[in-house]
Structure 1
Amino acid sequence: MTFTIRDQPTLGVEEEYFLTAAGSRAVADGASRIAPGATAALGERFSCELMECQVEAKTPPCSTLRQAHGHLTAMREAVARAAGAQGLRIHASGTPVLGSLGSARLRDDPRYLAAHATFRARTEAAVISASHVHVQVPGREEAVLVGNHLRPWLPALVALSANSPFWAERDTGYASWRTMAAHALPVFGPPPYFTSLDHYHQVVAGLREAEAVVDEGMLFWDVRPCSHLPTVEIRVMDAVADAEVLAVLAVLVRALVVTALAQVNRGDAGPQLPEPVLATAYWRAARDGLGGHGVEVHSGRLLLAHRLVAELVRAVRPVLREYGEFEQVCQVLRRWCRQGGGAGLQRAAYGRRGDLRDVVDILCACTTGAATDTAGPADGRDRDRAARRPAVTPTGPR
């Protein structure tokens, strides 16, 4: 099947939320308790997760940015209502802000118990939440080869979605500690470079033989062919509290996939990047987020993170223009970059009083659309520096 830009594949978003106690704001078990109410509202689009303090919701297939934003907003409201009925709140963040991670309780589910038996104490690193974007593709071969073309852009998506500076009730110094925690487990991070679907199957068979994965659904690479849907799944991003930003990131991911599909159709198997450079780009994106620098993986050069975001938008501009999304994407990303992304929002909330409960409150409010104050960094010098950084504009980098 030959794919063209005009085919405009559908996309879907899966996102994970932490449950928090309304009083203490600490992460709290309760997934099994809120499941009946959330399932009544969302059906199969709601599910429990690895830990009892996490749940997941999924949009239906969406064609437009507006549809994606609308479904994200509606499903968050539904899950929040179910949680509220049990004295809990939800928030989207890559890592918990308050609460003891050692007390996180694994769900009594055979599949998750098998994962714990395999990874043992390392499952503590799985107390993390992410945003996953599915994009429709013609077949599994295309899904595998698309990953080769997406690998150079994955660090930029880490920076754009970075929303996990706090871990175990302290500031880690990273914008996305979820990225660092996840890499403690096997088959996380960027996928290997695959030459074909057969090559993918050979690698997966070896991983299963080594008992590094429980099943194909636990191949946690940041790009993978979906095992049960005709999609490629991009799993690199932190859970994002701002629904409009997440919808924009979803259509940005779709534009990357459409651009990659065109390259695959031309017989281009994708660039073979030096793995140490890609790993360094991941680390730098996780550390700095939108507030510093990132690595341009083709040259190894250090560039302002905002510049790398602008280069990403420029690379997919024809697709975004074709789908009528370019101006809105630029407008939202410009606001997001100036704010410092999710990590900037969290640190700004903490900086006002030095109280992590304020961080949880702003995350809960943003997740459910109730936030009115989403100002950027609390420190005036940080705001000045942010204002001087390049921003994405409808005409490209400024």
Structure 2
Amino acid sequence: MRFGVEEEFLVVDAETRSVTARAGDVVRAAGGRLGARVAGEITEHQVEGRTDPCDSAGELAGQLAEGRAAIAAAAAGLGLRIIASGTPVLGDAVPAPVTRGERQDRGNATFRGLHAELSLCALHVHVEIPDRDTAVLVSNHLRPYLPVLLALAANSPYWDGRDTGYASWRSLFWARWPVAGAPPYFTSAAHYDELVAMLVEAEALVDAGTIFWDVRPSAHLPTLEVRGADVPMTAAESAAMAALVRGLVASLLPLVESGDPGPVVEPEMMRVAYWKAARDGMAGAGVDVLTGATLPARDLAARLLDAALPGLEEHGDLARVTGWLTTLAEDGDGAARQRAAEAKNGLLTDVVDHLVEQTAQNGTFN
């Protein structure tokens, strides 16, 4: 089961550490080495790194490290840096410098002020599932785990030079969009396509590519795309998160194949679980969306690991993922580590410096 990753990064000035609208320059400078594995995003604050489809987590981790190093080097040559954070730490990020184009113009007209705060960075994991019906039904089974995945990757505590009090402020922004967060419960790909067509007709979307649900069949690839996490601070974390997602998908496939349509989860429970995951990350308690019980985030993560165990063992990724979860338990999630960097001297510039260092770090969990 092949998989791949898209990571989004913020471009910052090396001197001020503020976010800066020079992503296009970085993409052009890195393109000679990475080709299609580097691209622009919706704003000029963001650069996107991509992997090719990979068979193993080791191959994926190598491409992630290579891509980050190349983008960081290209930025450094321009007096810039890149950071892997879900939101900017410093700088004037509002209104976001949206790139130009017909599609962007339609987005500006449709979403208006929402486009002003789009300097947000996520991790998108693609898992190869050529059958769209199967992909949609797997998403039903994935839905209860989405808040836990969000908590594991929480890495956006700051916005506009202040601590928001949340671990994933980025996810709070996405919650305001008309089509975002956990997807609805679907019975088939036809049901999915019917609802998307209705949303387009209702002018809630620019097109099918602007579906921002945290799980969706890719609009252009034979994959299921899981896209609800903040971009992790390090390449090793991105690789481990991708391995966990693939392991979970592989473990859920037999349920779909046996005819199990997946659990029906009350939308309000999903909303509450998302909010608690965004607020506290791995440092607090989360919600079991099937029972409403409040449980430590670590316990919910352990349940997720149990659910993904068959797929992780199948692909040889158990040690990588358990190593990552152990490190999270010891060092905290990305939000906790950003705050720890500020706590040393009380300076947000130290947070940015820490992110710059960690973004280009090459490590592993196994």
- TM-score with structure 2 setting the length: 0.97
Unaligned runs of 5+ in 1: 1-8, 372-393
Task: Say which SS state the counterpart of residue 283 (structure 2) adopts.
Answer: coil
Counterpart position of 2:44: 52
Residues 62-93 of structure 1 deviation map (CA, whole Å, 9 limit, x = unaligned):
11121111110000011112211221100111
Contact 1:126 1:182 (8 Å CA) reproduced: no
Amino acid at match of 2:224: V
Partner residue in 1 for 2:324: 332
- The equivalent residue for 1:90 is 82
- Per the alignment, in what secondary structure is the counterpart of residue 324 of structure 2? helix
1:157 has 2:157 as partner = no
Q: How does 1:135-154 map to 2 (within 5 A)?
A: 135-154=127-146
Residue 110 of structure 1 pairs with residue 102 of structure 2: yes
Q: How far apart are residue 370 of structure 1 and its match?
A: 7.4
Please provide the CA RMSD for this pair: 1.4
- Equivalent residue letter for 1:207: L
Instruction: State the partner residue of 1:217.
Output: 209
Provide the rounded CA distance (Å) in 1 between the counterparts of 2:27 and 2:53.
22
Equivalent residue for 1:383? none
**For residues 275-354 of structure 1, what are the structure 2 equivalents within 5 Å?**
275-354=267-346
- CA shift at 1:195, angstroms? 0.8
Q: 2:359 aligns with which of 359, 367, 370?
A: 367
> How far apart are residue 327 of structure 1 and its match?
2.1
Task: Please point out which of 224, 238, 241 is paired with 1:246.
Answer: 238
Query: What runs of 5+ residues in structure 2 fail to find an aligned partner?
Result: none
Distance in structure 2 (CA, Å) of the matches to 1:328 and 1:45: 24
Q: Which moved more, 1:36-45 or 1:93-102?
A: 36-45
Query: What CA deviation, in whole Å up to 9, does each residue of 1:92-127 have, x standing for no partner?
Result: 110000011224311112222221111011112322
Structure 1 residue 257 corresponds to structure 2 residue 249? yes
Identity %: 46
Aligned pairs for 1:223-242 within 5 A = 223-242=215-234
Task: State the distance in 2 between where 1:346 and 1:70 align.
Answer: 25
* Match of residue 389 from structure 1: none
Amino acid aligned to 2:192: Y
My pick for the range that moved more, 28-37 or 170-179, is 28-37
Alignment: residue pair count? 364
Match of 1:67 in 2: 59
SS of alignment partner, residue 216 of structure 2: strand
Report the more deviating stretch, 294-303 or 35-44.
Answer: 35-44
Counterparts of 1:24 and 1:113 in 2: how far apart (Å)? 31
Deviations 1:135-166 (A, max 9, x none): 00131111111110100000000000000000
Say if 1:175 and 1:286, in contact at 8 Å, map to a contact too.
yes
Amino acid of the structure 2 residue aligned with 1:162: A
